[in-house]
Structure 1
């Protein structure tokens, strides 16, 4: 059976809605947290599929999080081999950094449910399933588009919302996996300062989650399922 490894930067940010299409594609799923002492010795090249999820830290905060440069170095080796890799939010920023692009604070918190704008390449990619669908955004960092990659989606706040390199590397700044996972309540509790920065009401955001979440997850699952069907091992 094919092996998938999920890297979690904080336990409350897992693959959530993406688990279904990954399992349906025939992958046995393993997980590791970056806080696990074993993480330093993990070979990120060996899994057939690598999924890196989000987290509140910045790629540039390497003094605070010594595992970041370790992960980026291992990831760069994997990407050099064109091994199938999906990055979400912080995971997408990790991919950008491993491909040589700067990652930095964007100066504005993008938080809440809103659709992304697909360009022509995005509309012809698996992201077509997301067209017009409100998705969860929760970040304030951004990155330059890495060389050799293809921009797929933007928003009014940040131009670089999704990119890919070929069929095997996909980076998503937004959270199309979130909308039905009970850990969303943990996000509201633990990331409350972000709500203040974005001038968002937690009650209103919870209501938006209930309204838009199922549609976002359904679109996200369709997107990931199509992407997995097209990767080259």
Structure 2
């Protein structure tokens, strides 16, 4: 008579052993940390990115295991059926062997589920990181565009400034081509002195001219007086006629 082992009494220790495995703790901690990080939506650093990459490497699920032994759910179902049949029909040793195989299948299924959950969590975290990086990239592009516009404005202002400097340089060369100001001032002072000398000469000549004019006027006046003091040639015969027509007076 074979001894039947309750299925619940076998599955609970299997789950307990699964929880006690180090890899199960790693997957559980990775899953919990991934969920909390997604809820917190914090900004990740380079260390967080390395942690995500490590989790992805650890939890990478390959189809090679399926090709070797088949899908884990199918294996679990087969071993469950074998375990039930062994409990009902076989001895305790056979049931224990079937239990151990079922325990391994449950463990593999649980590990696969945790792997998938951790991989999904890591993918979500990585997607969130990529979204943040994309947002940062868009912000950087916007800042770069603003910087380009500022640089364009500065370039336009620099071109205007350069054109002004070129015009100033042309004017400076024209100014420097002329003689210095102190030399020009010396020439102006010399010309002013010449003008003052000429004006002084003109005043002296005017005074001399006035003196000569006065002298000439005086001489002319004297000549006129002298001429007026003598009778003219036309008046001399008439004067003589008047004198001749007078009666002769005899001395008594």
Same fold (TM over 0.5): no
- Higher percent of residues as strand: 1
Bigger RCO of structures 1 and 2 (CA < 8 A, at least 6 apart):
2
- Higher percent of residues as helix: 2
TM-score (norm 2): 0.18
